[in-house]
Amino acid sequence: MTKLVTAVIKPFKVDDVKAALENLGVHGLTISEVQGYGRQKGHTEVYRGAEYKVDFVPKIKIEVVVTDEAADDLVAAITTAAQTGKIGDGKVWVVPVDSVVRVRTGERGTDAL
């Protein structure tokens, strides 16, 4: 069985998170550009050295499908790697996955990872 781990983090932390995932032996991931806000509605967050005026602050979303067993360590590793201690560091959530397939081969389940 597998899980989908989704993290929304500060863009400049992508390389650190990627390195942490590689250390854990994660074999694949998907990223996309998103925008968002948390409890402070983005108002007080600093982005590229300037206080960000609008509600929505640019973030990167990382999605990783992993085995059930690996999910907790993955969440911990992302949390550590993405942390600056400042507001807006991000959010990580885990969703159950029914099935996963590698398109090239048709392999399924953990063989597809």
Ligand X SMILES: Nc1ncnc2c1ncn2[C@@H]1O[C@H](COP(=O)(O)OP(=O)(O)OP(=O)(O)O)[C@@H](O)[C@H]1O
Tokens of 92: 């990580």
Cα separation, 10 vs 4, whole angstroms = 20
Bridge partners (DSSP) of residue 62 are 7, 31
Cα separation, 3 vs 75, whole angstroms = 11
Q: Should residue 43 be labelled a site residue for its own copies when binding is judged by CB under 8 A?
A: no
Cα separation, 92 vs 4, whole angstroms = 11
Q: Which is nearer to its own copies, 50 or 83 (CB)?
A: 83
Residue pair 77/64 in contact (Cβ under 8 Å)? The answer is: no
DSSP state at residue 108: B
Window 1-40: contact mask with its own copies (x via CB under 8 A):
-xxx--xxx--------x--------xxxxxxxxxxxxx-
Cα separation, 38 vs 19, whole angstroms = 26
Window 28-47: contact mask with ligand X (x via CB under 6 A):
xxx---x-xxxxx-------
Q: Should residue 87 be labelled a site residue for ligand X when binding is judged by CB under 6 A?
A: yes
Least distance in Å: CB of 50 to ligand X? 17
Q: Should residue 96 be labelled a site residue for ligand X when binding is judged by CB under 6 A?
A: no
Residues contributing to the site for its own copies (CB under 8 A): 2-4, 7-9, 18, 27-39, 55-56, 59, 61, 65, 71, 75, 78-79, 82-104, 106, 112
Residues contributing to the site for ligand X (CB under 6 A): 8, 28-30, 34, 36-40, 57, 59, 63-65, 87-91, 102-104, 113
